[in-house]
Structure 1
């Protein structure tokens, strides 16, 4: 059973100062998880995590992760500027974008970021935009087809379709890109790839690593370039449902180490650094969306209306995603009531839960919606004139800090021309 990292009493005190809905993050949990990840890959001296800023673009979070040794994975001008303002620059930024405007290449180069090229045509585009090719460069690989692990030891299948993804280069294109970039002045090369999303398997990263390690060895032999790093990107998931097994990052790191020693070391590439770009794994379990029950409706189904909506967490509406819900103060009560938990948008998909068995919910009850720490607040929007909620940080000493204030009506009106 999923347990909130705050108590009902804490939340009532917090809500008295910061009205619901709000997102709250657990500093202690974030730091402990970052340290577990670092320990899992400590066998690789050059290892670095580049946190996916898109998951939780909040300066207080980025600064915590910086203190834990993480860099930033950025995909836009604004994310680059946010990283810079947090004191994260140079090779602590990985700039992975697609359909990239020239000005964003120029900013990434100015900050000294490692630029990850998504397409062969961007080789010339980068040189034209910046004036030269950086000495350290990365290219994104897409193997095409279907990626599958089949039946894993965890008892389920991992499958995704890279062939339908808009990202990355083909096998022949990445070889051509390396040759051209080398001729244009690049001296250190990296390979990046992402094959599956939110995998719940300790075997995904090692399987991806074997693909990329073999590719690196082959490309070195074909092109003669020096491949200094391999970026495994993201894809390590979290168990949104209570019955799902959690990934064991120590087991994952050991699986990658085994592949490294079997493929890269014999190829004379035992100095290759490994990078990761985890967002969901790093933050999702350590963020709650806290909302209050404000309405109940009894028609063909039983509805509980809350003061949050899909503008605060759009994954359930957009993907039909499951997010666990705890009714605070009723953690041990029987789940003997079936509800749809809904927001107030003029859209029928504005539902946090459908036919969910929960304890009896009374008006005024606080609900914690779990695993909202990544791709939660960051995907918020203003449909129906809804205002984006505050973000709070539960510090390790138990204090609570406002790290993003709630939007006001004046914020909503500010860009408008009347």
Structure 2
């Protein structure tokens, strides 16, 4: 459920008409619904009510500080993968002791920042990283809290580019190396390893891969405890999918996911960490764009809009489906089949192919749905297109939470060397 709906044939986000936002802010523009973010967070958190569980929002899904501050007020922690995401989470009010630092390439500088801030844990992804963290912590006179990300070699049955739990993926410690790395942790003076971390992929639409991975982790906890390791917590990652195309995919509900996790983890006596991202914000955001031109080539029709792949790259990168709806409902029930395309000079700048839609004309507005996750955070400035605005709605109020970048601001990032200024 989300809070985007039609009122008198006009699309609204909560109690604000989308066309009113566009009149003030322009297009393209991302629009986020506070009520949807809060509802999705609470539904997920409630699935683990009564357990010692911490929900750490995956900041990589949407790092806007308004989104992070909204979740901080709900009691969420954060899963970060860079120095920048760590600083964003802290600035947004998420306590350091609710932040976990993931990612395969943490630098010594990032490790030091995390240690100085006092984060909850580092999710270690290689033996080399473990040794580096021990060195950095030693230089600071500290002991780093660590959880080892193990790779369970489980097929997540998701898109190949967002699968992270198979042996050929770059993430985590190989399963057959887990015992040796925990033995190494025990021998190192400046790391304290009491946790296990697992994350097998994103946009999973079945529970079975989760169940297989969680079951393997439970067995590993028992084995490590039998060898004298004090394992007290498990980080089970994120990855639960959302419905992008209604009627064609029906991911499990958070309640079903929670029930499965409770059953698999029963009696293990560990505190739990979860790292949902897409599930919280994916359907809480839309990308609004204006129709620029209609074009016909042979029997093919194109609607050219002012948003482009640099604004939302998921369709080009993952062949991802996003529902596209008109901001103003037409009186006619007629449908046409067209490709929705952007102005970027690339054949891959396509949002939808052969999509049935109400007829549109230049100046009409459309909303690309399910754009709250991996939308704005993955945007760029290809073709010298400035970053677009982001807006957050809260009831009948709205605010620009990232201003539209001007061309002047974008060009000012470049500099010309002295030898070219004569």
Asked if TM exceeds 0.5, the reply is yes
Which residue in the other structure is 1:37 paired with? 44
The change in CA–CA distance for 1:64 and 1:374 in structure 2 (over 3 A counts) is same
Q: Is the 8 A contact 1:314 1:376 kept in 2?
A: yes
Q: Is the 8 A contact 1:127 1:133 kept in 2?
A: no
| Post-superposition offset of 1:260 | 1.3
Alpha-carbon distance in 1 for matches of 2:196, 2:409: 42
Q: Is the 8 A contact 1:4 1:368 kept in 2?
A: no
Of 23, 27, 32, the residue aligned with 2:30 is 23
Counterparts in 2 of 1:244-255, with a 5 A limit? 244-255=249-260
Q: Is the 8 A contact 1:202 1:249 kept in 2?
A: no
Alpha-carbon distance in 2 for matches of 1:85, 1:328: 34
Which residue in the other structure is 1:136 paired with? 145
Of 79, 93, 96, the residue aligned with 1:73 is 79
State the Cα deviation string for residues 363-407 of structure 1 (Å, max 9, x = none).
221111011001000000001001111110110x22111111011
- 1:183 has 2:187 as partner: yes
| Post-superposition offset of 1:59 | 0.5
Q: Is the 8 A contact 1:120 1:174 kept in 2?
A: no
Q: Is the 8 A contact 2:312 2:378 kept in 1?
A: yes
Which residue in the other structure is 2:364 paired with? 365
| Post-superposition offset of 1:160 | 7.5
State the Cα deviation string for residues 4-58 of structure 1 (Å, max 9, x = none).
34643711111110001100011001111111111101131x2011111111010
Of 8, 11, 14, the residue aligned with 1:8 is 11
| Post-superposition offset of 1:294 | 1.1
Which residue in the other structure is 2:419 paired with? none
The change in CA–CA distance for 1:416 and 1:389 in structure 2 (over 3 A counts) is same
The change in CA–CA distance for 1:358 and 1:23 in structure 2 (over 3 A counts) is same
Of 236, 240, 244, the residue aligned with 2:240 is 236
| Post-superposition offset of 1:135 | 5.4
| Post-superposition offset of 1:134 | 2.7
Q: Is the 8 A contact 2:186 2:192 kept in 1?
A: yes
Which residue in the other structure is 1:54 paired with? 60
Q: Secondary structure at the match of 2:232?
A: strand
Q: Secondary structure at the match of 2:396?
A: coil
TM-score of the two chains, using structure 1 as the length reference: 0.90
Root-mean-square deviation (CA), in Å?
A: 2.2
- 1:110 has 2:110 as partner: no
The change in CA–CA distance for 1:129 and 1:159 in structure 2 (over 3 A counts) is closer
Alpha-carbon distance in 1 for matches of 2:165, 2:81: 22
Q: Is the 8 A contact 1:89 1:111 kept in 2?
A: no
Q: Is the 8 A contact 1:204 1:236 kept in 2?
A: no
The number of equivalent residue pairs is: 400
